[in-house]
Chains A and B, each alone.
Chain A
Amino acid sequence: MIHYSRIRVALLLAPALIVIGGLFIGGLLLALVQSLGYFAAIGENAFTLKHYAALIFDKEFHRSLFLTFALSSIATAISAALGLIFAVSLRDVASRSRFASVLLQIPLAMPHLVIGVVLINLIASSGLVARLAFALGIINTPADFPALTADTYGFGIIAAYVIKETPFITLMTLAVLVRTRDEYELVARTLGANRWQRLRYVTLPLVAPAAVSSALLVFAFIFGAFEIPFLLGRTYPAMLSVVAQRRFLSTDLSERPDAIAVAVCLALISSLLVYLYMRLARVLIRHDNPTVFL
């Protein structure tokens, strides 16, 4: 730690604070104000909670909130489980093979948009997987193929996120595994622990904090992200970000405060998740900052 005067610290932080305070916090406050009855464009200029009250009775909002929670949870759980398995199976090659670490890093650079576009073409009812099923004589027409995009259970959304987030959780978990592996493993081995016992009582407790905290980040990200549910999801019920987008861009301007109310709810939930993550991660700035790869 170095000791700068308060003024110097303030000056160093000033440009960033203008962006965060002015654009981000300012934007959030403006959103709040506009959703609380001050939206001049449609003649609203008195405090009201009606846009939030409306959400309480809004069936689309309920279904959308439930869907968002459910899909985020399922996609995160599958990604975390696969990420743990991947990390454990990669721990020996990761530190020694440049090839392995490149293979692990490149998926992180794949944009969600591209994954979404490709996945549609693979799993849609006339997609490549359906054509393979046809070639194998399993189905006769595209209609025989189960709906995997724009479907009731959000299969396409879950699949896209699992593909995108598993490498992220793998990388975060692997960083801890590589750092702490040998000593504890050797002790356990010396004490006569077999492979399963070493995995259960040594490796898992070691990687659990990294796995859980990166899973929380993934959950928070999926909860608010737009492109994947927009491309692969249904229009009703849609995930919250899609509902907010549709209402905001509606030609009926009176829907705009409702859209902003949905977005404010999303922001509140995200804040809570990020706060939880920080409580969990404890360390202010970690060298291997996980946010890098989302």
Chain B
Amino acid sequence: MTTTTTNQRAQRTTTRRFDIANTGTIFTLAALACITVIPIVFLVVASFARHWYFPALAPREFSTRAWEYVASSSSGATTALWMSLAIAFIVTILSVLIALPAARALALCEFKGKRILVFLLMLPVIAPPLAATMGVHHLFLRLDLTDSLAGVVLVHLIPCVPYATLMLASSFANFDTDIEAQARTLGANAFDVWRYVTLPAAAPGLAVAAAFAFLISWSQYLTTLFIGGNQVVTLPLILIGFQRAGDEATTSALSLVFLLPTLLVFIVVARFIKRDASKSI
């Protein structure tokens, strides 16, 4: 009864406030839409444009030259695409495997040095690990890990593992370990508990953590450049290369190739983020 009246009252105030704030809301939503729509529209047009220079507002001629070039082996784009995908996949799998047990301990156990660990996890996530990458460069050189895929994967782990750990820990924080104990009491063995209780509960968090580990690895530039030394060429590297060379159409086409997986991955896991966040409300 009380709930109903509160809800009705809230509903009324909400409706009224919505009318007052309508212009602001629409403006804000439009501004947010622009952040995504303008780059995509621009990149699509620019990637098909031919001789599109000042003062032409719209391209006068269109061509598929840039896309043909990107698809051809001479641009190196396809190699870079596969390289980026391979590195990001390996980094994602490793990150999630490494992060999963740590996240569980972090979320569910008390131990000495926990705050320091969280601090160390946040550091490479928030500030790009420039100094650490420079530091390991010399070591990697000696171990023959520079200019190699393995070396680039290792250095990508520096930001990706902490990212995955923090995200998984936050989804484990709401996990009720009593359910596992109940399954045990009902006769499930350790593997069954893991397979039928823990994993399904952790699945949304896992999906989000994996997605973000992928995206972090996917968009690495400086770490790849330092350790890969222009031998391990990923999409961000050739993208910036073409940008510096002033080839606008090719840069635009490559930007779209770079952007598309990002948006796809994000859209696939967006509903998990939503579900995850709604638990805290």
Are A163 and B18 touching (Cβ within 8 A)? no
Residues A118 and B38 in contact, CB atoms below 8 Å apart: yes
Q: Which of A11-19, A59-67, A147-155 contacts B (4 or more CB under 8 A)?
A: A11-19
Contact A292 B212 (CB under 8 A): yes
Decide if B259 touches A114 in the complex (CB within 8 Å).
yes
Beta-carbon contact of B105 and A105 below 8 Å = no
**How many Å lie between the Cα of A175 and that of B170 in the bound state?**
15
If A28-B135, A92-B21 touch, whether A13 touches B118 (CB-CB below 8 Å) is no
A118 to B99, CA, bound (A): 35
Known: A15-B97, A23-B132, A217-B126. A227 touches B221 (CB 8 A): yes
Find the B residue at minimum CB distance from A3: B109
> Looking across the interface, which residue of chain B has its beta carbon closest to that of A104?
B32
B180, closest chain A residue (CB): A2
Residues A142 and B54 in contact, CB atoms below 8 Å apart: yes
Q: Mark A111-137, 1 if CB is under 8 A from B, else 0.
A: 111110110111000101011101100
B143 at the A interface (CB under 8 A): no
B217 CB → nearest A CB, Å: 12
Neighbouring B residues of A108 by C-beta, 8 Å:
266
Flag A90-118 by CB within 8 Å of B: 1 or 0 each: 10110000001111111111111111011
CB-CB under 8 A for A121 and B46, given A24-B158, A286-B170: yes
Residues in B neighbouring A134, C-beta threshold 8 A? 54-55
Among residues of A, the one whose C-beta sits closest to the C-beta of B130 is A263
Given A4-B105, A20-B120, A100-B29, check contact A15 B136 (CB 8 Å).
no
B122 in the interface (beta carbon within 8 A)? yes
Across the interface, do A16 and B126 meet the contact criterion of CB distance under 8 Å? no
In contact, B170 and A102 (Cβ under 8 angstroms): no
Using known A-B contacts A103-B33, A113-B258, determine if residue A19 contacts B157 with beta carbons closer than 8 Å: yes
* Chain A residues, CB < 8 A from B32: 86, 103-104, 106-107, 167
Q: How far is the CA of A117 from the CA of B219 in the complex (A)?
A: 14
For the complex, count residues of B whose C-beta is within 8 A of A. Answer: 111
The contact string, 1 if C-beta is below 8 Å from chain B, for chain A 162-183, is 0100010000000100110010
Chain A residues near B279 (CB-CB < 8 A): 287
Check A236 for interface membership: any CB of B closer than 8 A.
no
Interface centre among B17, B35, B98, B277 (most CB of A within 10 A): B35
Task: Report whether B57 and A186 are in contact in the complex, using a CB–CB cutoff of 8 Å.
Answer: no
Closest to B26 in A: A89
Asked whether B138 lies within 8 Å of A26 as measured between CB atoms, the reply is: no
Partner of A285, one of B10, B14, B170, B251: B170
Q: Is the CB of B219 within 8 A of A13?
A: no
A212 at the interface (CB under 8 A from B): no
For residue A131, which residues in chain B have a CB less than 8 angstroms away from its CB? 54-57
Cα distance, A266 to B124, chains bound together (Å): 12
Q: Is A223 among interface residues, defined by CB-CB distance under 8 A?
A: yes
Asked if residues B57 and A26 are in contact (CB atoms below 8 Å), the reply is: no
| Complex CA–CA separation, A217 to B166 (angstroms) | 15
Cα–Cα, bound, A49→B176 (Å): 53
Inter-chain CA distance A236–B276, complex, in Å, is 45
A113 to B55, CA, bound (A): 26
Is A221 interfacial (CB 8 A cutoff)? yes
* Binary interface encoding of chain B residues 70-87 relative to chain A, with 1 for a CB under 8 A from any of its CBs, else 0: 000000000000000000
Contact with A along B1-28 (1 / 0, CB 8 A): 0000000011001100110110011011
Q: Is A264 an interface residue (CB 8 A)?
A: yes
Q: How extensive is the interface on chain A, given as a class?
A: 35 or more
List B residues 93-129 near A (Cβ within 8 Å): 97-99, 101-102, 104-111, 114-115, 117-129
CA A203 to CA B21, docked complex, whole Å: 15
Q: Is residue A70 within 8 Å, beta carbon to beta carbon, of the partner chain? A: no
CA distance A263 to B125 in the complex (A): 16
Given A90-B28, A113-B221, A248-B226, A267 and B158 contact (CB-CB distance below 8 Å): no
Kindly state whether residue B236 has any CB partner on chain A within 8 Å.
Answer: yes
CB-based contact A9/B226 at 8 Å: no
B contact residues vs A (CB 8 Å cutoff) = 9-10, 13-14, 17-18, 20-21, 24-25, 27-29, 31-33, 35-36, 38-39, 42-43, 46, 53-57, 97-99, 101-102, 104-111, 114-115, 117-136, 138-139, 154-155, 157-158, 161-163, 165-167, 169-170, 173-174, 177, 208, 212, 215, 218-219, 221-222, 225-226, 236, 239-240, 243, 248, 251-252, 255, 258-259, 262-263, 265-266, 270, 273-274, 276-277, 279-281
Chain A interface residues toward B at CB < 8 A: 1-4, 6, 9, 11-17, 19-20, 23-34, 39, 41, 85-86, 88-90, 92-93, 100-115, 117-118, 120-122, 126, 128, 130-132, 134-135, 142, 163, 167, 175, 178-179, 182, 185-186, 189, 195, 217, 220-221, 223-227, 230-231, 241, 244-245, 248-249, 259-260, 263-264, 266-267, 270-271, 273-275, 277-278, 284-289, 291-292, 294
A-B contact pairs, 7 of them (CB 8 A): A27-B131, A27-B133, A109-B262, A114-B39, A118-B39, A241-B128, A286-B170
